[in-house]
Structure 1
Amino acid sequence: MSQSNQADHKSVAGLILGAIGVVYGDIGTSPLYTLKECFNPEHGLQLTPANVLGILSLVFWALILIVSFKYVMVIMRADNRGEGGILALMALALRKQGRRRGQFSIFIVLGIAGAALFYGDGMITPAISVLSAVEGLELASTKVHPFILPIAIAVLVGLFMMQAHGTAAVGKLFGPIMVLWFLVLAILGVVNILHDPTILAAINPVYAIRFFLDHHYAAFLALGSVVLAITGGEAIYADMGHFGRRPIRLGWFAFVLPALLINYFGQGALLLHDASARVNPFYHMAPDWALVPLVILATAATVIASQAVISGAFSITAQAIQLGYCPRMDIQHTSDKEIGQIYLPGINWALLVSVIVLVLGFRSSNNLAAAYGIAVTGTMVITTALAYIVLVHGDGWKRYAMWLILTALLIIELAFFASNAMKFFDGGWFPLLIGIAAFVLMTTWKTGRRLLFHRLHDGEMPLESFVDAIEASPPHKVEGTAIFMTGSADTVPHALLHNLKHNKVLHENVMFLTIQSTDIPVVGKKDRLQIKQLSPTFWQVVATYGFNEEPSVPEIIEQCLQETSMPLDMMTTSFFLSRETIVDGKTPAMSWLRRRLFATMQRNAARPTDYFKIPPNRVVEMGTQVEI
């Protein structure tokens, strides 16, 4: 084998290991609570061989159809220049379909709704995962019960406090720990399957069909628990940009999926012969001497699973900021090598408070399971709906085949969603409440920024005619360069007009800088800047960033110096920004509540100097009031 081939294999192996450590954490910890919840006595499902085989058959085919087929094989084809996730898919659908009236708004609503539900998932996953792992201690001693919640909260607090230090150092341990976790899942499963290999008959979908024919409504309700086996499927698509399709697919089919299926069948074999194991079938699979080490390993696995969801919340917030659906926030990079490793303090502490409230409010993983499914299935349905636009194209049988495939998947997912909707009053209201709140915040910010943009630039002077007039009759000039940050590349910024009105001077050189985002993840350097010299002393620069990038004014200036003869010296350059104060207009364009909400978000947004990395000692802010 050549050295280049060896290097390629090592690279793929490293990516597979990384994917196992990050991508599959959520779905990999589902065996802790899925069958326990399916046979929870409160649900009234009897522990009979037919029911065990029926539930296992449903779990098996859910993993095959929804995760393996839909996400790993189909949805991963809908990549936005290598990136995945609900907002990346929304941006891709918008670009594919164009700005057709009505459809454009539908795609945006679906994308924002999916992103909003993700925050509900991001709160519940750490709570249910860590709680279900720590609850295993109760099997060792009932005296531990009063300490379950304090231990779980302590683990969660430690997890969220760790975020500020980044995952670069700990990330190297994630892959090996999760490999060990999946190996243990498989070993426990094999040992129990050997006691009764007949459990493997559940692979036959006839058992799932018989289960529905026998139980009807009860079987429909059971889908709300079966769906717990596929939570985390969305992460496979969302993390595609970090690892690529091939490593994720290889890791899933060659290692993760077999380990999960073997463990589920092992739990089923145990339940056939030990009815008492229904209290916690996962931990009952292990011998007594292995219980405490298994709890420790499970807790480590759930921390890793939670880490992936928390990092996903950071990433989706950063994307929302760039796409204009979220106010600027403090974004800290925790690695000088990996751009995707970021930390958002505001999101981190909000998630921690929400997770602790969840743990104290629901008090057990069984109670949390009722709240879990709605957010997960809702996001699944939205992903499939957006995939229609991206994947159903072309002519002939391929177009109709993809349409039929997505329609069949959508019907299955709607059944899962409807089953979970029945748990609304048992906790399902929580992720919906979080989703609605996030949806209102994101749409209010987007609408408010659009109205603000129109109010600011309504009636403004055209830029080029203004420059011609100034050059024909220049005011008093001072040394240095002035950079005016503006959202419009065609009109004169308010900050410049205020500066001329009050100071009656202009710098020797003036740059109008507009920073805009686009619906692709990363913009190449050659496409980053559009530079135009408007006159001997006026320049216009438009910088474009993808939704996975962060704008940097120093980088823009450095590239300008490389590509032009623009007279720029940071020591003699001043940045002029407008700071808007929202006031009520005579004919309000938004409701009173949304105006108050938008004004609050505007006031608390991160300062432009921090977000755009502008040297704060070089900034002049010009205030203005805007009616909305």
Structure 2
Amino acid sequence: MSHDAIRATNEESRDQEIFSPKLDGKKLSWQKLRRNDSLEMESGKFSGRRVHGSKGVSWTVILQLAFQSIGIVYGDIGTSPLYVYASTFTKGIKHNDDILGVLSLIFYTLTLIPLIKYVLIVLQANDNGDGGTFALYSLICRYAKVGLLPSQQVEDCDVSNFQLELPSKRLRRASRLKSKLENSKFAKLFLLFSTMLGTSMVIGDGVLTPCISVLSAVGGIKEATSVMTQDRVVWISVAILVCLFMVQRFGTDKVGYSFAPIICVWFSFIGGIGVYNFFKYDPAVVKALNPFYIVDYFRRNKKDAWISLGGVVLAITGTEALFADVGHFTVRSIQISMCTVTYPALILAYAGQAAFLRKHNDLVSDTFFKSVPDSLYWPMFVVAVLASIIASQAMISGTFSIIQQSLALGCFPRVKIVHTSAKYEGQVYIPEVNYLLMVACVCVTLGFRTTAKIGNAYGIAVVFVMTLTSSFLVLIMLMIWKTNILYVIVFVLTIGSAELLYLSSVLYKFDQGGYLPLAFAGVLMTIMYIWNSVYRRKYYYELDHKISPDKLKEVAAETNFSRLPGLAIFYSELVQGIPPIFKHYVENVPALHSVLVFASIKSLPISKVPAEERFLFRRVEPKELNVFRCVARYGYTDARNEHEPFEIMLVEKLKDFIRNDYWLSSVLIANGEETETEGELNDGQVDEDMNMKQAAKKEKQQEVVETEIEIIDKACRAGVVHLIGENEVIASKGASLGNRILIDYAFNFLKKNLRQSEKMFDIPHKRMLKVGMTYEL
């Protein structure tokens, strides 16, 4: 066992011994109760560890979740049959067996990537039940110290959800890889960059999915009437998209699970029509199970076959939603719904369309609606439009969620997060982002007008995210799961090679619309880089200029320094020490509230932090100052101040800390005195005077605790003031032109035009005081 593991085990056992309720009447050594007087080593109040999903979920619940997941997760991949063949055969069908080659490609692509890679492998890499790019990044950050901010604390490992279930056997390969990552600044930056890129591509996906899905579905009405031109189809699609974005403010909680029956009807329709076409037109398409037809297709078409892969890959759009939405369901429920409903229905749909095309090569541009029997046309049209709207809704909601995650980790400017559901924390709405997405969708629809052009752009966003997920997964396999190297090699050679082949194909169409998601990603990456870069520089500035406890004592000891009634909460992003802006405050306002709490809001690389483990306190000596430091820890999917005001939770946890702090001190003192008098006691007789003395001390300690809690209550009654550090950042003298542009113009433009910190934490304006200070970075 490594030294880190041994030390972690010792610390865990010591914490359990200290905070066990069985301590009364037992002898404890000073070493077991000793603690360092710093927030980095401060022992707080910890609950027993919990493992996500440790309680068995009944099969009834799993099946209910499996049904609900059909409406939330599979809208995007489920509507792919609307446009896959049209996007693949853009130049028409040159040979009848080409249809078998493409069907074989679709079959093996659906089997290899959504079914094997995501359902069987990637879903196992969830972060305490949550999925997505940030979940993979958080797992790596927890196992190896690859975060760019020096805000790691010993206590973070004691949060229940922070723990990783690791195999007992530790391999040298994993240790070497971990060491290289921790010691390489380039590797840390590259991981963060890759996470940002994946995030940007998913957001680009959120723009393109509504466009291509709605445009494909509405285009079906051209089959019913010749009056409907392409221009009218485009404008109807735009109207539907605008309505879709306008209703986002109401949230998906009330209507979310009504999606499941509609998508189930959709899968029943496409599967049933697929079976009908299969037997009516050409049952021989079952020959596509033979991968030889793929080889034959490439021999016959060569470069054109490779280019057509950009259309085939559209069959797996929305696959990332399998992983991203696992937090709302369970791994088992998504596996069941994929294997029993989605996968069979899609295979039947594509096989049926292939059978139809074998007899109607000239109808490939409108394959979907041409293959629908006349009696089912209108029901199919209505369900197709509804399914495309649901697919769009899922990606829009996913975009909101992923921006919330990037915001929590300091990778995105502050925006307003509205939680639309009291029941499901993951359901959020971001007004600013919603309107930007709406404008982007309308512009893309009006600019591209056809699904073929949008499909070129769509493919790049899809394959980029999948490739990044595979790269992160290989790291997790090697470093955390300790997977056999042969399995990792097989994964890379099969799935990795297939994704790289698809990526090369979609990049070929860069000038035909493929530039669009890369342009979106470029803009978003620029915004993320500007914000994160200056955010880190500002943190390091505060760390280098923090106030020492001795300096605080000097400030408080000055004769012209007065105390005001009330409780002040001084907000700062600095986790270690007291921020420099406090010195600036007391130099200009030589007064301090009767109780002062330095509150730092910190994001941990986990999805959720249990409420009872959220606050970590430390007393700033001397006690008479009534000054405390507090770190409020949140996961990247945690809701903030939605159910209970932040200040109420902080004050209650502060009182708990005071009680625990005095209790711990009394145990230490009693243990020391017991050790001193141990040799003086004979024949097991108990010194009554000693017992009486200890009882008196306990009573006195209780009085002190009650007095201090009364001071807190009195301060709260006098009023709670929120002091916000409003830091202005400028480039230091002599800074390069690039730094001046980055800090003075780009960052400050974002900061001035976006939401400020008090709005993020719903701080009441009547009790808020901003303290300004300029940082030269």
TM-score category of the 2 structures, normalised to the smaller one: over 0.9
1:10 aligns with 2:60: yes
TM superposition shift of 1:277? 2.4
Contact 2:123–2:131 (Cα < 8 Å) also in 1: yes
For the residues of structure 1 that align with 2:480 and 2:465, how far apart are their CA atoms? Answer: 26
For the residues of structure 2 that align with 1:340 and 1:519, how far apart are their CA atoms? Answer: 17
TM superposition shift of 1:105? 1.8
Moved more, 377-386 or 499-508: 499-508
Instruction: Find the counterpart in structure 2 of residue 547 from structure 1.
Output: 636
Aligned mate of 1:567, from 712, 725, 730:
712
Instruction: Find the counterpart in structure 2 of residue 29 from structure 1.
Output: 79
1:199 aligns with 2:285: yes
Instruction: Find the counterpart in structure 2 of residue 64 from structure 1.
Output: 111
For the residues of structure 2 that align with 1:517 and 1:448, how far apart are their CA atoms? Answer: 17
For the residues of structure 2 that align with 1:455 and 1:471, how far apart are their CA atoms? Answer: 24
Instruction: Find the counterpart in structure 2 of residue 299 from structure 1.
Output: 385
Alignment deviations for residues 501-521 of structure 1 (CA, whole Å, 9 cap, x no partner): 222211111111111001010
Kindly provide the amino acid, as one letter, of the partner of residue 557 in structure 1. V
Moved more, 60-69 or 477-486: 477-486
TM superposition shift of 1:624? 1.8
Contact 2:543–2:576 (Cα < 8 Å) also in 1: no
TM superposition shift of 1:148? 0.6
TM-score (norm 2): 0.77
Instruction: Find the counterpart in structure 2 of residue 583 from structure 1.
Output: 730
Aligned mate of 1:420, from 503, 506, 525:
506
For the residues of structure 2 that align with 1:397 and 1:311, how far apart are their CA atoms? Answer: 34
Instruction: Find the counterpart in structure 1 of residue 650 from structure 2.
Output: 556
Cα distance, 1:250–1:491 mapped onto 2, change above 3 Å:
same
Instruction: Find the counterpart in structure 1 of residue 256 from structure 2.
Output: 171
Instruction: Find the counterpart in structure 2 of residue 522 from structure 1.
Output: 608
Instruction: Find the counterpart in structure 1 of residue 749 from structure 2.
Output: 600
TM superposition shift of 1:9? 3.0
Kindly provide the amino acid, as one letter, of the partner of residue 201 in structure 2. L
TM superposition shift of 1:495? 4.2
Instruction: Find the counterpart in structure 2 of residue 342 from structure 1.
Output: 428
Structure 2 residue matching 1:567: 3-state secondary structure: helix
Alignment deviations for residues 83-136 of structure 1 (CA, whole Å, 9 cap, x no partner): 110121122123334332132222111111111111111111100000000000
Contact 1:110–1:386 (Cα < 8 Å) also in 2: no
Moved more, 354-363 or 489-498: 489-498
Contact 2:565–2:718 (Cα < 8 Å) also in 1: no
Cα distance, 1:98–1:45 mapped onto 2, change above 3 Å:
farther
Equivalent runs, 1:602-621 vs 2, <5 Å: 602-621=751-770
Structure 1 residue matching 2:422: 3-state secondary structure: coil
Kindly provide the amino acid, as one letter, of the partner of residue 117 in structure 1. M
Aligned mate of 2:191, from 93, 107, 122:
107
Instruction: Find the counterpart in structure 2 of residue 131 from structure 1.
Output: 215
Equivalent runs, 1:319-358 vs 2, <5 Å: 319-358=405-444
Structure 2 residue matching 1:169: 3-state secondary structure: coil
1:262 aligns with 2:348: yes
Moved more, 215-224 or 559-568: 559-568
1:406 aligns with 2:553: no
Structure 1 residue matching 2:472: 3-state secondary structure: helix
Alignment deviations for residues 50-99 of structure 1 (CA, whole Å, 9 cap, x no partner): 10000000000000001101111111111112211012112212333433
Between structure 1 and structure 2, the one with the greater Rg is 2
Aligned mate of 1:162, from 247, 253, 256:
247
Contact 1:25–1:178 (Cα < 8 Å) also in 2: yes
For the residues of structure 2 that align with 1:490 and 1:372, how far apart are their CA atoms? Answer: 45
TM superposition shift of 1:494? 4.1
Alignment deviations for residues 132-171 of structure 1 (CA, whole Å, 9 cap, x no partner): 0000001111211132111101110111011000111111
Equivalent runs, 1:452-463 vs 2, <5 Å: 452-462=538-548
Contact 1:486–1:512 (Cα < 8 Å) also in 2: yes
Kindly provide the amino acid, as one letter, of the partner of residue 585 in structure 1. S
Aligned residues: 620
For the residues of structure 2 that align with 1:62 and 1:376, how far apart are their CA atoms? Answer: 13
Contact 2:568–2:595 (Cα < 8 Å) also in 1: yes
Moved more, 279-288 or 402-411: 402-411
Structure 2 residue matching 1:591: 3-state secondary structure: helix
Q: CA RMSD in A?
A: 2.0
Kindly provide the amino acid, as one letter, of the partner of residue 55 in structure 1. V
Structure 1 residue matching 2:413: 3-state secondary structure: coil
Moved more, 320-329 or 352-361: 320-329
TM superposition shift of 1:453? 2.1
TM superposition shift of 1:451? 1.2
Kindly provide the amino acid, as one letter, of the partner of residue 241 in structure 2. L
TM superposition shift of 1:480? 0.7
For the residues of structure 2 that align with 1:485 and 1:339, how far apart are their CA atoms? Answer: 25
Structure 2 residue matching 1:549: 3-state secondary structure: coil
Kindly provide the amino acid, as one letter, of the partner of residue 114 in structure 2. V
Kindly provide the amino acid, as one letter, of the partner of residue 11 in structure 1. V
Contact 1:495–1:577 (Cα < 8 Å) also in 2: no
TM superposition shift of 1:227? 0.2
Instruction: Find the counterpart in structure 2 of residue 188 from structure 1.
Output: 273
For the residues of structure 1 that align with 2:386 and 2:288, how far apart are their CA atoms? Answer: 31
Kindly provide the amino acid, as one letter, of the partner of residue 346 in structure 1. E
Cα distance, 1:12–1:216 mapped onto 2, change above 3 Å:
same
Instruction: Find the counterpart in structure 1 of residue 234 from structure 2.
Output: 149
Contact 2:425–2:639 (Cα < 8 Å) also in 1: no
For the residues of structure 1 that align with 2:557 and 2:589, how far apart are their CA atoms? Answer: 19
For the residues of structure 1 that align with 2:275 and 2:733, how far apart are their CA atoms? Answer: 72
Moved more, 550-559 or 593-602: 550-559
Alignment deviations for residues 212-264 of structure 1 (CA, whole Å, 9 cap, x no partner): 22222111111111000001111101111111110000000011100000000
1:82 aligns with 2:129: yes
Alignment deviations for residues 399-428 of structure 1 (CA, whole Å, 9 cap, x no partner): 321332134211110100000001000000
Kindly provide the amino acid, as one letter, of the partner of residue 504 in structure 1. P
Structure 1 residue matching 2:227: 3-state secondary structure: helix
For the residues of structure 2 that align with 1:10 and 1:24, how far apart are their CA atoms? Answer: 21
Structure 1 residue matching 2:387: 3-state secondary structure: helix
Equivalent runs, 1:346-385 vs 2, <5 Å: 346-385=432-471
Structure 2 residue matching 1:358: 3-state secondary structure: helix
Equivalent runs, 1:185-334 vs 2, <5 Å: 185-195=270-280, 196-334=282-420
Structure 1 residue matching 2:735: 3-state secondary structure: coil
Structure 2 residue matching 1:330: 3-state secondary structure: coil
Instruction: Find the counterpart in structure 2 of residue 91 from structure 1.
Output: 138
Identity score, percent: 31
Contact 2:584–2:773 (Cα < 8 Å) also in 1: no
Contact 1:78–1:391 (Cα < 8 Å) also in 2: no
1:498 aligns with 2:545: no
Structure 2 residue matching 1:378: 3-state secondary structure: helix
Kindly provide the amino acid, as one letter, of the partner of residue 214 in structure 1. R
Instruction: Find the counterpart in structure 1 of residue 3 from structure 2.
Output: none
Kindly provide the amino acid, as one letter, of the partner of residue 567 in structure 1. I
For the residues of structure 2 that align with 1:395 and 1:10, how far apart are their CA atoms? Answer: 31
TM superposition shift of 1:276? 3.2
Structure 1 residue matching 2:734: 3-state secondary structure: coil
For the residues of structure 2 that align with 1:399 and 1:570, how far apart are their CA atoms? Answer: 63
Moved more, 365-374 or 257-266: 365-374
Contact 1:79–1:89 (Cα < 8 Å) also in 2: yes
Alignment deviations for residues 346-366 of structure 1 (CA, whole Å, 9 cap, x no partner): 110000000000000001112
Kindly provide the amino acid, as one letter, of the partner of residue 417 in structure 2. I
